[in-house]
Amino acid sequence: MVDVAQAGPHRRRGGLPDGGAAMTELTLYSMPSSGNSYKMRLLLALLGQPYVHVDCEDGSDALSAAKSAGKTPLGKVPALELADGTILAESNAILTYLADGTPWLPDDRLARAQVLAWMFFEQNRHEPVIAVRASLRMYASRAHLATPDRLAELLQSGHEILQIMEDPLCKSDWLTGDNPTIADIALYAYTHTAGSRGGFEMGRFPIHHQLVHTVHGHAGIYRARGHSKVTDLFAYTDGACSGNPGRAAGVHC
Residue 239 near residue 32, CB atoms below 8 Å: no
Distance set, CA 100 to CA 23, 184, 215, 251 (Å): 11, 15, 21, 26
Dump strand ranges (E) for 126-238: none
CATH 3.40.30.10 residue ranges for the chain: 2-104+227-233
For the domain made up of 2-104+227-233, give the CATH fold. Glutaredoxin (3.40.30)
From the candidate CATH numbers 1.10.220.110, 3.40.50.300, 1.10.8.60, 1.20.1050.10, the one assigned to the domain spanning 109-224: 1.20.1050.10
pLDDT tens sequence across 68-125: 999 999 999 999 999 999 999 999 999 999 999 999 999 999 999 999 999 999 999 9
Kindly tell me the sign of the dihedral angle through the C-alpha atoms of 131, 120, 31, 225: positive
> DSSP letter at 128?
I
Decide: 225 and 45 in contact? Cβ < 8 Å: no
For residue 210, what pLDDT is reported? 64
pLDDT of residue 14: 33
Q: Terminal CA-to-CA distance of the chain, rounded, Å? A: 8
pTM: 0.80
Residues of the chain with pLDDT under 70: 1-24, 208-253
What is the C-alpha separation between 143 and 147, in angstroms, rounded?
8
Q: What is the pLDDT of residue 223?
A: 44
